[in-house]
Amino acid sequence: MTRTTDLTDAAHTADASLLPLNDTQAHVELTESYAAHNYHPLRVVLASGEGAWVTDVEGRRYLDCLAGYSALNFGHSHPRLVERAREQLGRLTLTSRAFYNDQLGPFARDLAALTGKEMILPMNSGAEAVETAIKVARKWAYLVKGVPEPQATIIAMEGNFHGRTTTIVSFSDDPAATAHYAPYTPGFKLVPYGDLAALEAAIDETTAAVLLEPVQGEAGVIIPPEGYLQGVRALCNASDVLMMADEIQSGLARTGRTFACDHEDVVPDVYMLGKALGGGLYPVSAVAADGDVLSVITPGTHGSTFGGNPLAAAIGREVVAMLETGEFQQRAATLGARLAAGLEGLVGQGVDAVRTRGLWAGVDISPGLASGRQVSEQLLERGVLAKEAHGQTVRLAPPLVASEDDIDLLVGAFAGICRG
């Protein structure tokens, strides 16, 4: 099969090592020519980063207000994390779980203590953590709750985002995520996010778990009604159903608390963690739960070549240690309040609504002003990196190491766009 393209010959033949270091167009063309088009990036080619700031190949600096979808809570190249990773790189990086290693035990112990759970199951990506939690919930339903096989169901929320695997997109209601990937995996029910009555009506004797995001990030930083998480916890308790919280984006200090569930003093049965757990250096994820849940996983029934490897465990343990002081949770709360105050002043001036939880915001752009994509492009021109979510919403998640001046710069950039 012959593939045709109108890209320049240079994009087809250039060796990346020979590209001019300051040539944005060459990098864009090379990427578009050889990398699948599963993203639609803004036209900026990043080359380095430190703290809350990144620099492109032409030397321009930008405030990173996406932070790798919360993977960079601690900023780019945090010296403490880089040093720990460098130290471990020189010692041991991978053994597979066919053997013990000297980093996994301490990491598991410390992450279990942070979550208040008895055990963790380490994986790599956030989607793998969700897939693992789904398997755990189904097996728990059969072996512990007594649901007849293969009838176990899991209730998820409309507007959810838990990953891109075939099983996970099977319970997405986003057409872009689901179109042309059928047949879909059965065993899931969807109910409106924030609607306790709908959730109660959906629970039956086959229900193994309720799976939710305490804040729906990909949907535009959607915060549930006050008391909703407590209501979910009560329903799960009453029906012997696992409450499973996807804290992959919302957890690890992003919302001003260690976990977003903490805002309602709710402890789920299962935490799914990822993104920031790897410090922005390496993919690290985990499922945390008590032994009566995770003990259904036995040797040979689930695994990962890279899950729990020494490098991942060393970085993850350092992240946990950084969170134990409460410094980053407090920074998210303080800076988030500053961001909220600045953005809320723009409502009615090109902004329809603002939702914030800690240092995380969804800004709904007035259709008469521009689309979310257009505002993101205008922010880029003003030295701020952000990204739209679902058309008219711009999602903001600056690294927690940002300064007050950085937050003011972000608000000023938004104000400049809204006020012309």
Q: Which residues are catalytic?
A: 161, 246, 275
The candidate with the shortest Cα–Cα distance to 97, out of 67, 62, 65, 123, is 123
Cα torsion at 371, 377, 378, 382 (round to 10°)?
A: 150
CB 67 within 8 A of CB 53: no
Contact predicate 417/400, CB 8 Å:
no
Helix axes 79-89, 310-323, angle to 10 degrees: 160
Strand 285-289 to strand 270-273: parallel, antiparallel, or no bridges (unpaired)? Answer: antiparallel
Kindly give the pairing relationship between strand 46-50 and strand 53-56.
Answer: antiparallel
Q: How many helices (H) and strands (E) does the chain have?
A: 14, 15
Query: What is the spatial distance between Cα 51 and Cα 398, in angstroms, rounded to a whole number?
Result: 10
Which of 105, 102, 135 lies closest to 122 in space, CA to CA? 105
Q: DSSP letter at 67?
A: G
Contact call for residues 289 and 119 (beta carbons, < 8 A): yes
CB 253 within 8 Å of CB 67: no
Answer yes or no: are the C-beta atoms of 178 and 184 closer than 8 Å.
yes
Distance, CA of 155 to CA of 135 (rounded, Å): 14
